[in-house]
Amino acid sequence: MAGALLEVDTIVAGYGPVDAVRGLSLTVNEGEVVTLIGANGAGKTSTVNAISGVLRLRSGAIRFAGERIDTLQAHAIVERGVAQVPEGRRIFPRLSVLENLQLGAYLRKDREIQKDLDWIMELFPILRERRPQLGGTLSGGEQQMLAIGRALMCRPKLLLMDEPSMGIAPLLAAKIYESIRQLSERGLTVLLIEQNAHLALRLANRGYVVETGSVVLEGPAATLLGDPRVRKAYLGED
Amino acid sequence: MTNSEVLVQQLIIGLSNGMIIALIALGYTMVYGIVELINFSHGDLFMLGTFLALTVVGALGLGEPLDGQVITWGVIPLLIIVPVFCAAVNWTADRLAYRPLRNAPRLAPLVSAIGVSFVYMNIGLFWGGLPMEVFNMGTAPAAPKDFTALVSYDNLLGDSNITLTAKEVLVFAVTTPLLMALTVMVKYTRLGRAMRAVAQEPTAARLVGIHVDSVIGVAFILGGALAGFASVIYALYNNTIYFQMGFRVGMDAFTAAVLGGIGSLPGAVLGGILIGVIRAFSDQYIATEWTNVVVFAVLILALFFRPSGLLGSTAAEKV
């Protein structure tokens, strides 16, 4: 497929005896924002963890820029340009904000790390203010910005975001979504996992609806927003 | 000797032993901080280091010093060979015994570590039976071995009642730079930052591209090397080694790590020094047979008031 940056091909993966993901397929083209929506436990997080190499596949394949990545270790996948903003943010609690950001650039050896640090602190000015503070002392919304900033520090070609609005005040969530829009305008490709279908579908180009580990509905975001099944199940309308 | 002279003397002895305990405690705390494994074989690794040191002394034919002069050229090869050996052994134990159990319940690698401890102890017993002159031709493998006095007993303070020998100087000359180097490494280098990241949030560490298994391997290498340095200076300071000494010294070091706050590097050093000094004072002012009681009573009291140790992290973290 021309322009496909990420291809997830009928993958099966899970923890213990249960398969959380059962034959899920999706594609993300270069420059797109694609969202994966679904209820809690639908297999969304397992899908991004499989893409990042943190969860091994039982079958299926994942290709990034044409190359099989499902057999690679997590660090090798980051090296190829896939970064993840994990669910629950997972920032390093006893490292400073600055150190958290520097660790995002762990695999980089170029000389533009400082430039990117400045850029991220422009994107999220609160991080500049909180630079010497320990990550664990930030509020939930600030931690989310830090997690996004850390992921951006590796200069990803594809950014996986797992529920960036979870547990965050609506005003801050809107701010974070605005920053995702800005990043997308700069050409970053994004795969966005959300329970908040409304937020996600208004931002994304395309969307997939996931139920019990596989895709039940897919299409342009605008179409999904108008689909009565989506409106009923995920937007809380009758 | 006046009272204050006795006090200073015991302080010198306590600090010297404490610095050695601190080096071993760092190996416990570093591994625990990063994989939450209490590496029970660490004390016995230290014991193997002393046996290698004595073997090297025998093989190189290093003898007693002449005219009270320190044979530095005898100490230097020990300070290179033994840490490298202990680092390699510790890394190998992780690779073969602990790494395959990384995702197993926590009790599994713990029991493995106890097993590795017995393996090391029996290697020590076998080693002491080798037909070498330094091991009395292997006639009594289990008996304590005299460690050749490479460093002079002469008092550097001349006629003073307080004794300060080149041995104490050696202990501080080896431990202080090591502790400073470790601090700088952990605080300011890319590898040090990666170690702290893996210790705090291993999944996120993988997601930023850190090869977690290699970083854990580095922790075992560093901890092993520190135990190796401790082996050499302990043997040169105390001049007796035996195959079961790893248990007692390891227990002191483990206690030091817990007292200071397991997982905390400054905590391990503080704990080590405290245990060393408490031991010396208890030997002097109470009675040697009460020393273990005193040490563990202090530990229990300290944990009663500060359950995560003196410098352990108590702050609640937002998740």
The domain spans of chain B are 3-130+166-305
Q: What is the pLDDT of residue B116?
A: 97
Of A78, A92, A107, Cβ closest to residue B201: A92
* Shortest CA gap B66–chain A (Å): 52
H/E stretch holding A83 reads strand A82-85
For the record, the structure tokens of A139 come out as: 């509020």
Q: What is the pLDDT of residue B244?
A: 95
Terminal-residue alpha carbon distance, chain A: 38
Q: What is the pLDDT of residue A40?
A: 86
Q: What is the pLDDT of residue A57?
A: 95
- B133 falls in which pLDDT band (50, 70, 90)? confident
Which positions in chain A touch B267 (Cβ < 8 Å)? none
pLDDT (mean) for A186-203: 92
Q: What is the pLDDT of residue A133?
A: 96
- DSSP lists the bridge partners of residue A192 as A35, A161
Query: Tens digit of pLDDT for each residue in B192-220?
Result: 999 999 999 999 999 999 999 999 999 99
What backbone phi and psi angles, to 5 degrees, belong to A110? -75, 180
SS (HEC) of B99-132? HHHCCCCCHHHHHHHHHHHHHHHHHHHHHCCCCC
pLDDT (mean) for A106-123: 94
- B312 falls in which pLDDT band (50, 70, 90)? confident
What backbone phi and psi angles, to 5 degrees, belong to B92? -65, -40
CATH class, domain A4-234, is alpha beta
d(CA B307, CA B258): 9
Binary contact (A136, B190; C-beta < 8 A): no
Q: At B241, is the secondary structure helix, strand, or coil?
A: strand
- Inter-axis angle of helices B265-281 and B291-305, nearest 10: 140
Contacts of B195 (CB under 8 A, 6+ apart): B34, B186, B215, B218, B219
Classify domain B3-130+166-305 at the CATH topology level: ABC transporter involved in vitamin B12 uptake, BtuC (1.10.3470)
pLDDT (mean) for A135-148: 94
- B73 falls in which pLDDT band (50, 70, 90)? confident
For the record, the structure tokens of A137 come out as: 């002392």
Say yes or no to pLDDT of A1 above 50: no
- The distance of Cα B111 from the centroid of its chain, to the nearest Å, equals 21
Binary contact (A92, B196; C-beta < 8 A): yes
* Shortest CA gap B203–chain A (Å): 8
Terminal-residue alpha carbon distance, chain B: 58
Say yes or no to pLDDT of B316 above 70: no
Say yes or no to pLDDT of B26 above 90: yes
* Shortest CA gap A222–chain B (Å): 32
Which of A:156-195 have CB within 8 Å of B? none
Contacts of B127 (CB under 8 A, 6+ apart): B48, B51, B55, B135, B243
- DSSP lists the bridge partners of residue A81 as none
Which positions in chain A touch B319 (Cβ < 8 Å)? 88
H/E stretch holding A230 reads helix A228-234
- A149 falls in which pLDDT band (50, 70, 90)? very high
pLDDT (mean) for B38-57: 96
Cβ proximity of A89 and A172 under 8 Å: no
Of B206, B208, B317, Cβ closest to residue A104: B208
Query: Tens digit of pLDDT for each residue in A151-184?
Result: 999 999 999 999 998 888 888 899 999 999 999 9
Q: What is the pLDDT of residue A187?
A: 93
User: How deeply is B44 buried, as exposed, middle or buried, from its count of CB atoms within 10 A (0-12, 13-18, 19+)?
Assistant: buried
For the record, the structure tokens of B74 come out as: 């005898």
Query: Tens digit of pLDDT for each residue in B217-270?
Result: 999 999 999 999 999 999 999 999 999 999 999 999 999 999 999 999 999 999
